């Protein structure tokens, strides 16, 4: 069975020296495991392919690691995203059947971001873009970002909406007051950035993004960032009479959004997502190197779905959405 994973990360030298410097230093200094993660993020070649072979992963769709460039100054966003994308182009050239790419975009400069997306899709065969949440508290439903969404729509490529830390004021108000390590986990991968991503996605819907761009597709990880559990409640409390949108809120979540595993190898959470959106909207992922390829592959094999649906989740849905 062919397998394609979609939330798989790397870091480039420019990111390491620029917007990612604080993140990577903190990761390296967190202990042996963090240092190992940092090492694996930098290896986008034969060693990674060998690990993929050992785990039964055929293709990784690669993206620049969080926090990406989105919180940097505009000039740094432009320079670092270009450097990271060019670095990824070279990695893909060396292993064109094993790696594919999602663009890093300087979203604080929307016209340049749109042009960079078009360059990468048309000239280099990239499969779309990954955006790490807000840029300094500004979300993609803001019409400021319309050039990016319009170009993605025109190019028929999806946007992967990846978590980032909530804005500083939210972190201080909602997640502060604990030991630094506890607050960091609370605001980040332990809770906060999943909820932040769910809020961002709901903003896209309520902001009319999918009414303006009805073909646009967005991908979120971690089995839906908590949204499947809340989907019936959201639909009940946001009727079209209130939202003035063209469709019920749940329709957008089932027709404009796709969902990946991204390190959430949790059977009950998977079943909730499956019941809410169906197998045609779910795609395999690992969240490498934070997640284990072998563990994710074993989870895929154990999913309580038909053989045909397992194939769709493993590769078929990704092939259709990303033109692979």
DSSP string, 58-73: -EEEEEEPTTTTTTS-
- Measure the CA angle with vertex 218, ends 214 and 219; round to 5°: 155
From residue 274, how far is each of 1, 261, 271 by CA, in Å? 20, 12, 5
Give phi and psi for 38, each to the nearest 5: -60, -40
Among 141, 272, 287, 309, the one annotated catalytic: 287
**41 exposed, middle or buried (CB, 10 Å; 0-12, 13-18, 19+)?**
buried
Residue 23 in tokens: 């993140």
Q: Can 287 be counted among the known catalytic residues?
A: yes
- Dist CA 306 CA 303 (whole Å): 9
**Number of helices followed by number of strands (H, E) in the chain:** 18, 8
219 forms beta bridges with 160, 258
Residues annotated as catalytic are 287
């Amino acid at each position: 069975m062919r397998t394609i994973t979609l939330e798989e990360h790397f870091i480039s030298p420019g990111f390491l020296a620029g917007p990612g410097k604080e993140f990577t230093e903190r990761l390296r200094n967190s202990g042996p495991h963090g240092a190992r993660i940092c090492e694996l993020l930098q290896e986008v070649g034969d060693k990674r392919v060998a690990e993929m072979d050992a785990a039964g992963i055929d293709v990784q769709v690669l993206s620049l690691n969080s926090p990406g460039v989105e919180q940097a100054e505009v000039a740094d966003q432009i320079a670092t995203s270009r450097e990271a994308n060019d670095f990824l182009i070279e990695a893909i050239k060396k292993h064109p059947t094993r790696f594919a790419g999602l663009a890093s975009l300087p979203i604080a400069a929307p016209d340049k971001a749109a042009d960079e997306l078009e360059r990468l899709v048309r000239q280099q065969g990239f499969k779309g873009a990954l955006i790490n949440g807000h840029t300094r508290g500004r979300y993609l439903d803001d019409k400021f970002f319309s050039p990016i969404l319009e170009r993605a729509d025109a190019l028929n490529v999806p946007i992967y909406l990846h978590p980032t830390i909530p804005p500083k004021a939210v972190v201080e108000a909602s997640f502060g007051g604990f030991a630094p390590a506890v607050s960091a986990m609370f605001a980040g991968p332990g809770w906060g950035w999943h909820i932040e991503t769910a809020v961002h996605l709901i903003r896209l819907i309520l902001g009319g993004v999918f009414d303006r761009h009805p073909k646009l597709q967005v991908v979120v990880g971690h089995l839906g960032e908590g949204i499947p559990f809340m989907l019936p409640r959201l639909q009940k409390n946001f009727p079209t009479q209130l939202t003035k949108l063209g469709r019920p809120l749940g329709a957008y979540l089932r027709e404009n959004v796709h969902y990946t595993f991204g390190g959430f190898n949790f059977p009950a959470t998977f079943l909730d997502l499956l019941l809410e959106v169906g197998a045609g909207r779910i795609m395999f992922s690992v969240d490498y190197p934070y997640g284990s390829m072998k563990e994710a592959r074993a989870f895929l094999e154990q999913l309580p779905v038909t053989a045909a649906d397992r194939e769709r989740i493993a590769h078929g849905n990704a092939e259709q959405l990303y033109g692979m």
